[in-house]
Amino acid sequence: MKKQISIILALFLLLSAPVFAADHDIVDIAVGNEDFSILVAALQEAGLVEALQGEGPFTVFAPTNAAFEDLLDALNITAGDLLAHPQLSEVLLYHVVSGTVMSTDLMDNMTATTLSGEEITVDLSDGVKINSSNVTTADIEADNGVIHVIDTVLVPSSFVLSPEPEEAMEESPAVPGTVVDIALSSEDFSILVAALQQADLVGALQGEGPFTVFAPTNAAFEELLAALNISASDLLNQPDLAKVLLYHVVPANVMSTDLSNGMMAATLNGEEITVDLSDGVKINNSQVIAADIVAGNGVVHVIDEVMVPQNFVYQSMEENTEMPQTGSISLTPYFLMGILSLAGAGLVKKRYNR
């Protein structure tokens, strides 16, 4: 927690400078400004420095040291206590949006999903606010995005703030849910959840991981069922159901920022999937519609089409019924690291939050 806070502070210091040359990444800018020393320490503690030095682009709403100090006073804790908090990463990622979002792109009541999986809201009724925090300096450009300085630390709703940190440490620390918990939290994944239960994969995906899950929505499953002219129960009763589900899981923590066109990765099914960035972000032929929903044991990216591996054999009473396959062959394993860039250059509201 302490290291993370320091990182955050460093980022804030960089933002406070009146002029920044856009020849440094976001972390370089933060490190170069003393008013962001707590932010920088926090980023370091949370292990997020390398991520924010990636290609991006990222938009960072950077709290100053004064903003952190206000939070510490309100909680009656030290910077060290905050840096040691198990949910420090969630707080930091709640300040980052995928894409380059300049002040001219903002609109009143605009919402955007952060890298923590929760949303922030823009308020232009009295100056510029992100949630209840005022933007004090805007549009500090970096090589991999932009920084806006804010005067209050943004705290996600999932974060448990305790005024008595010593007692809180005695209790079981709150941790992010698993990739399964994320699926369970949204009604739009009810078919996926039913399939995981039927295939007896829930326990496996609640394990340590890390896992990257490309999660098809109910609409994606319904399109497949319509194409096959079968019911959901017909699909769930397939002997090879687990092969389809495991084809959507990569055994690594893959964020959107690590993706490159043509990248390939081996899934738990044993077959490989391919990344296509030529028109948005696609995994095989499926479009990624929401990215980087962070869990305690990995990350979930939402897709609009069920991916069917080549080793899946659909068993049907109808001889002419064939399962459309979206698998790809002759691919080499590769970690899919990051889809944070899916949000593009604007703030995009996403429905799939933690």
What's the pLDDT score for residue 71?
Answer: 87
Mean predicted confidence (pLDDT) in 179-202: 89
What's the pLDDT score for residue 242?
Answer: 92
- Contact between 336 and 254 under an 8 Å Cβ cutoff? The reply is yes
What per-residue string of b and e applies to 56-92 under the rule 16 or more CB within 10 Å gives b?
bbbbbbbbbbbbbeebbeeeebebbbbbbbbbbbbbb
The pLDDT confidence band at residue 207, using thresholds 50, 70 and 90, is: confident
Dihedral of CA atoms 191, 194, 199, 201 in degrees, nearest 10, equals 100
Tokens of 205: 């995906």
User: What is the percent of the chain where pLDDT is above 70?
Assistant: 78
What's the pLDDT score for residue 316?
Answer: 65
What are the extents of the domains in the chain?
A: 2-170, 179-343
Q: What does pLDDT average to over the chain?
A: 79
Instruction: Evaluate if residue 56 carries a pLDDT over 90.
Output: no
Question: What's the pLDDT tens digit per position in 290-315?
Answer: 999 998 899 999 999 999 999 888 77
CA distance 243 to 294: 24
The pLDDT confidence band at residue 228, using thresholds 50, 70 and 90, is: confident
CA distance 284 to 301: 14
User: Can you give the pTM of this predicted structure?
Assistant: 0.45
Mean predicted confidence (pLDDT) in 215-228: 92
The CA distances from residue 262 to 134, 273, 276, in Å, are: 41, 10, 6
Tokens of 343: 């949000």
* DSSP bridge pairs for 134: 129
The pLDDT confidence band at residue 80, using thresholds 50, 70 and 90, is: confident
What's the pLDDT score for residue 148?
Answer: 95
Which class in CATH covers the domain with range 2-170? Answer: mainly beta
- Which helix or strand (DSSP H or E) is residue 273 part of? strand 272-276
- Contact between 70 and 53 under an 8 Å Cβ cutoff? The reply is no
Which residue, 125, 116, 101, is CA-closest to 157? Answer: 116
What's the pLDDT score for residue 100?
Answer: 93
- Single-letter amino acid code for the residue at 246: L
What's the pLDDT score for residue 318?
Answer: 53
| 2-170 and 179-343 have identical folds | yes
Mean predicted confidence (pLDDT) in 250-273: 90
CATH topology of domain 179-343: FAS1 domain (2.30.180)
What's the pLDDT score for residue 212?
Answer: 94
